[in-house]
Amino acid sequence: MPETTLWKCLRVLEARRAFATYVIYAYIGVSAFKILQVFGLMAGQLNYEDTGNLDALSMVGLVVGLLNWFLQIAATIPIVMWIYRAHANLVAMKCPDLKYSPGWAVGWYFIPIANLIEPFRAMRELWRRSHSLESGAVRDAPEMAPWWTTFIAANTLSFITAFSPAHDKQDLFGLLSLALCIASAWCLLQIINKVTQAQSDLLSARHTFA
């Protein structure tokens, strides 16, 4: 593939990185407010049971909760777009012996059971091959294991929270889930930034020594 086309692919990746960064930061910020909201519920400062007579503080908390839910769903769009483009760039750079195609790097997230491990493996391949086109020994990002561990733990706690009959446990599990979501989002953001930079460095090196 011509170098000019590869640079265009990299510019697309950078644009998607920027998009994902904005959304992830927004999600982290709203999630932090959501944590304060959960503390307010636990302390009895917020009350959503009487929906016809909400005070201003409760209204703000309700809006934050809805915004948090919206961003949690909306954030998947730029992240998935970035994952697809980053894997596609490896294909464009003729990286040999890739185990994951761009489509499957995204698709595994939506397949039950397999989505517990395959997305992590695909991201690990993306990290390693973005730092070296050859399949040599490249260390994982320090954020890699924490990203996936907190992601799985957060989703597990969210599931438990949804079906827990005890309100006090719902609040506690919800609080832990939010904290884990923030940690996971932060780790993912570091991975996105570093992989994008690594691919830029790879292409620059190819251009220099071509």
pLDDT digits (tens, 9 = 90+) for 63-96: 777 888 888 888 999 999 999 999 999 998 888 8
- 107-152: pLDDT as tens digits: 999 999 999 999 999 999 999 999 886 666 678 889 999 999 999 9
Q: How would residue 57 be classed by pLDDT, with cut points 50, 70 and 90? A: low
pTM for this predicted structure = 0.85
In contact, 31 and 181? CB cutoff 8 Å: yes
Dihedral sign of CA atoms 84, 90, 92, 96 in order: negative
Distance, CA of 139 to chain centre: 20
Q: Rounded CA gap, 207 and 10, in Å?
A: 13
Q: Which residues contact 138 (CB under 8 A, 6 or more apart)?
A: 127, 128, 129, 131, 132
Give the C-alpha separation, 15 to 20, whole Å.
9
CA dihedral (162, 23, 13, 81) in degrees, to 10, reads 30
d(CA 148, CA 178): 15
Q: Report which residue type is found at 108.
A: W
Cα separation, 140 vs 198, in Å, equals: 13
